[in-house]
Amino acid sequence: MSTMNISLPESLKSFVDEQVSERGFGTSSEYVRELIRKDQDRQCLRGLLLAGAASAPGAPASPAYFQGLRDRVRKAATSSRE
């Protein structure tokens, strides 16, 4: 694992220390890693949303489409129990 040092104003350092304590992180590094992972997820979701917005409109989903999804989920749930 690589190491990165950052400089924070005292107010931000205090905030990080509070978050570590209140939210059950072992270290400030764990907290910062979690923030970075969430930001990566957010950027990925944003990219997917933008790609979807730029794509051609699809056909409207009918009640039969949703019933088919429900049937597939039920079948998968039944198969996983066996």
| Residues 6 or more apart in contact with residue 17 via CB below 8 angstroms | 28
pTM of the entire predicted model: 0.68
Q: What is the mean pLDDT of residues 48-59?
A: 95
pLDDT for the residue numbered 45: 98
Q: In which band, very low, low, confident or very high, does the pLDDT at 15 lie, cut at 50, 70 and 90?
A: very high
Q: Residue 3: is its pLDDT beyond 80?
A: yes
